Chains A and B, each alone.
Chain A
C-alpha cells in the first residue's frame, strides 16, 4: 500500500560488513528528512503513534528462520498436517522453488497459499503473480482472501496488473500488451496452477513463463507426467535448469525409453529436491466414509411399456443397420434416457423425428413411441428421489445426465414445495457462482447435469442422489468427488436410483458389486479404464453392444459378469506389475508425517 522501500532486494554493499559471508546495508533514507524537520522545527508526529509503531513492529518480528509464522495469522482456518508439512519443506529445503504435484483433491491451492502467506509475513514477498486457468481465477481470489487474508485481486483491467497480488489467466497474461508489461516487472513469487500446460518447451506458454523474472516459484499440477519423460525434464528445467543435468545427460542417465525411466533411485533423489507429491493412499490423510445405497425403483406398467417399446425400437434399428455401432449413437442415448425420464426420451424422439425423411416408415414408429409417453402419468424415480430428500431433510445434490430430466426435476420439486436450483455446464461463470450461492443459502436441492470442471466444491453437502448412472465410471467418480473431498466433515451418503428390469439394474450391479467403484481411489480407476481401452473397447461401447446384442436378461447378466471379471483382472494386473509410467518414481515424494508428528505440528 505504501512502498516505503524494498529492503529485501540485494544490499548495494557499502564495503562495511559484519562478516565476510554477508553484504550489509545501513538504512539512511531517514537522516535527511529528520534533519529537515529539525531545521524547520516540525512538523512532528505523535508520541503515542511513535510508540505504537515500535510495538507493532515488535509484534510482527520474525524471530526465527524456521518456525512457520503464517500459522499464528490464520485463526479462521486450520491447514491439514500434510499441507503444513509440504509448506515447511518448500520453505526450508527447497528455497521456495517447487513443483506441488499432489493428487487431485489434497489441497494444492492451500499449500501454495500457505507458502505465499509465510513469505509475505516474513517480508520476503511483496508482489506475487498467480497464473491459473480462466475458470479458476475467481476461486483463487476468494481462497487467498478468505482463507489467508491475502489481498489478491482478479485481473480485469490493465491497471489491475499494478496490484501487489494479482490472479490472472495464463492465456491473457501471455498476450500483448499484457505480456510486455509483465516481463518488465520483477515478481517475488510466481505461482502457476495447472502447470501441466507447460510441458512443451516450444509453446508460447512455456516461453512466457521462462522469461518472467521471479524469485520464488511454485508450479502446481496433479499430473506432472502424462506422456513421456521429456515433459518432466521441461517442467523441471523451467523451475531449476540443470536439476536433472543437461538435456543429453538426462537422456543418457534417466531415460530408458520415451515412457520409461531408468536409474529410478537417482532420478527420485533428483526429483525430491524440487517436487512434492502427496497421495490419497498415504497415511495421515483421512477422508470421511462413503456410504452407498442402491435404491430400487419399480416402474409403473406404463413406464415399463415405454421401456420395452423403446428397447424393441432401438434393437430393431440396430439389426437393420447391420450392427454398426457408430451409426447408433443417438439411439443408444435413447436407450439410456428411457431409464431417466419420459421428458428426456420425448426430446430425443422429437429430434429424431425431425431428422428422418417425411416418407420414412420410421416416422410412424416414432409416433407410436410418443403414444407410450403420453400414457405415463407419473415418474416413479422422481417420487423416490422426493422421498429421500424429505427423509434426509438436508442439503442434497441430484445428478442427472440429461437436460430434460433436470428441467423436469426442478419443476417437480417446486410443485412439492422444495426449493431447488439448477447447475449445468453451459452456464457462464457468474451464473454458476450464483447457483452455488443459492444452494449454500436457501435452496435445499441442487440439480446438476455437470460434474466435471472445477469450481463446484460442495463440502457443505453430504447427500448425493445419482438419478441416473453414467455408463462411464469416471463420470461417476467425478460426481462423487465434488462432495467427497478434503474438508468434508461428514460421511457422504450416495443414493443410486435404479429401475428394476432395465439395463440400469445391471449397470449398478457392475459398478457397485463387480468392480466396487465407489470405494476405489481416483488414480486407480483411471489406470484400469486406460488398460481396458488399450486391450479392448471403451467400457461404454462394450455396454452398448451388450444391450443391443444380448438375448434377454440372463444373457445380459452373463455379459456383465464377464465384463466385471475382466475389469478385476486388469485391476489385479495393475497392482502386481510396477506401473508402466513414471509413477513408480513419484510416490515416494510424499511429505506426510507420522501421526504423532502431525499432531504436534498443527499449531505451535
Chain B
C-alpha cells in the first residue's frame, strides 16, 4: 500500500463511520471521530462504559491523521514560515517534558495521550493503520445486499428476479515454521449451487444497496448456507490440490530430523536415570516434541475474512 492508497483507505473509513472531517489535504486529515469510530480507535473502554451507563452526551476525540509524513511536514513548515511567529506551538516544551516523564515510568507512551489533537503518521505497518485495518474487519464481517437494477432498461411495472449468492472471502495460509498466504473470493449461487471464483471483484463493479429495491423480487434459495459452505470447501480443496507441496515435504523432512535428534538425546538419558527422575525427563521430552510439531508441522489453514448474502440480478 502506498501513501495514496492509504489516504484513500482512511478517507473511506472515516466517511463510512460517519466521522466529521474538519480539515483535509492530499496528505492529512483532521477529524472529529463519530461515536462508533471513537469506540473502535481510542481505546477508552472505561469512558464508553461510563457513557453507556449514565447516558451522557459522549465527547469524542479528534485526531490528526497524516498519510504522508514527509510531505505533511514540508507543508506545515512552509505554512509556519509564511505566517512567521503567528501563535507558534505554545507550551510545547512543557508538554514534551510531561511526555518524557511518562515515558520514564512506562518505557514508552503512545503518541497523543494528553495532547488535544494527537498526531498519527499512517505509514504501512504503523499501529494506527493496523488499528484501522482491524476496525474495518470488525465492522465489515457480514453483509446482506441487493443489486440495484439498471433503471432505464426496466419497464416500470416489471419486477426483475434476483438470485441470492453466498460470497466468502477466505485467506489461505501455507504454514510450517514459515508462512505464505493467498486470498480467494468464492461465490455460490444459493439457487443452483454454482461456484465461481474472484467473486469479490465482480461485486465491486455492481451497484449494491442494503434495501430491497422496489421493482425486484428475490427467487427462492434451494441451498442452505451450511450446504453452500460445504461447496466452497470442496471448491477450495480442488483448487489446492493443483498446488506444489515441495515446501511441505521439506518441512516434514526437517521435522523428522528434529524428532530423531531429540530421540537421540532423550532416549539414552531415559535409560540411564532412575525412576524418580525419569518421569521428569519423559515430561520434558514430550514437551519438546510438542514444541517441534507446533513449530514445523506443515499445514494449510483457512480464515474467513468476511462473508455475505448478495442478491444479484445478472447471475443465476
A-side interface residues toward B, CB under 8 Å?
1-2, 5, 7-11, 16-19, 21-31, 33-35, 37-38, 41-42, 44-66, 70, 72-76, 91-92, 95-97, 121-124, 137-142, 145-146, 149, 151-154, 167, 186, 210-211, 213-216, 237, 240-243, 245-248, 430, 433-434, 437, 441
Across the interface, do B245 and A138 meet the contact criterion of CB distance under 8 Å?
no
A279 to B315, CA, bound (A): 65
Q: By the criterion CB–CB under 8 Å, are B178 and A65 in contact?
A: yes
Residues of chain B in range 155-202 having any CB-CB distance to chain A below 8 Å: 168-171, 173-175, 177-183, 185, 200
Within 8 A of A (CB), among B215-264: 224-226, 229, 233, 236-237, 240-241, 243, 245, 247-249, 251-252, 254, 258, 261-264
Verify if B47 is at the interface (C-beta below 8 Å from A): no
- What are 22 A-to-B residue pairs whose CB atoms are below 8 Å? A7-B302, A8-B175, A8-B179, A10-B293, A10-B297, A22-B300, A31-B226, A34-B225, A34-B307, A37-B144, A47-B140, A48-B140, A50-B308, A53-B140, A54-B306, A73-B123, A74-B125, A95-B177, A95-B295, A154-B107, A246-B269, A248-B268
The answer to whether B179 and A123 have CB atoms under 8 Å apart is: yes
A56 in contact with B107 given A5-B303, A44-B143, A62-B180 (CB within 8 Å): no
Closest 5 pairs between A and B when the two form their complex, measured CB to CB: A73-B125, A49-B140, A141-B107, A242-B265, A18-B240
Q: How many Å lie between the Cα of A61 and that of B179 in the bound state?
A: 10
B-side residues, CB < 8 A to A, are 1, 5, 9, 12-13, 15-17, 96, 100-101, 103-108, 110, 123-127, 131-134, 136-145, 168-171, 173-175, 177-183, 185, 200, 204, 208, 210, 224-226, 229, 233, 236-237, 240-241, 243, 245, 247-249, 251-252, 254, 258, 261-266, 268-269, 284, 287-288, 290-291, 293-309
Most chain B Cβ neighbours within 10 Å, of A49, A50, A243 = A50
For B96, give the chain A residue with the smallest CB separation.
Answer: A441
Return chain B residues, CB-CB under 8 Å to A22.
174, 245, 248, 298-300
Q: Which residues of B contact A247 (CB under 8 A)?
A: 269
Shortest distance from the beta carbon of B186 to any chain A beta carbon, whole Å = 11
- Asked whether, in the complex, the Cβ of B13 is within 8 Å of the Cβ of A52, the reply is yes
CA distance A8 to B295 in the complex (A): 10
Chain A residues with CB under 8 Å of B179's CB are: 8, 62, 65, 122-124
Q: How far is the CB of A360 from chain B (nearest CB, A)?
A: 49
Q: Which residue of B125, B133, B173, B304 contacts A123 across the interface (Cβ within 8 Å)?
A: B173
A211→B287 CA distance, assembly (Å): 8
Cβ–Cβ contact A53 & B226, under 8 A: no
Chain A residue with Cβ nearest B209: A47
- Is there an interface contact between A246 and B265, defined as CB atoms closer than 8 Å? yes
User: By the criterion CB–CB under 8 Å, are A21 and B139 in contact?
Assistant: no
Q: A603: shortest Cβ distance to chain B, in Å?
A: 13
Q: Which of B125, B252, B302 contacts A149 (CB 8 A)?
A: B125
Residues of A within 8 A of B16 (CB): 46, 48-49, 52
Evaluate contact between A54 and B175: CB separation under 8 angstroms: no
* Contacts A54-B185, A75-B123, A241-B262 known; 10 new A-B pairs at CB < 8 A: A11-B300, A46-B16, A47-B208, A49-B13, A65-B180, A142-B107, A145-B107, A153-B107, A242-B264, A433-B103
Nearest CB on A from B283, distance (A)? 9
B1 adjacent to A38 (CB under 8 Å): no
* Chain B contacts for A242, CB-based, 8 A: 261-266
* Nearest A residue to B8, CB-CB: A55
Instruction: Report the minimum CB–CB distance from A564 to chain B (whole Å).
Output: 45
Q: A295 to chain B: closest CB distance in Å? A: 34
Q: Which of B174, B248, B264, B295 contacts A245 (CB 8 A)?
A: B264
Which A residues lie within 8 Å of B5 (CB)? Answer: 59
Query: How far apart are A591's CB and chain B's nearest CB, in angstroms?
Result: 18
Cα distance A84–B230 when bound, in Å? 44
**Least CB distance, A235 to chain B, in whole angstroms:** 15
Which of the residues B13, B236, B299 comes within 8 Å of A10, measured between beta carbons?
Answer: B299
Closest to B243 in A: A18
Say yes or no: A30 contacts B307, CB within 8 Å. yes
Q: Are A7 and B303 in contact (CB under 8 A)?
A: yes
- Asked if residues B105 and A430 are in contact (CB atoms below 8 Å), the reply is yes
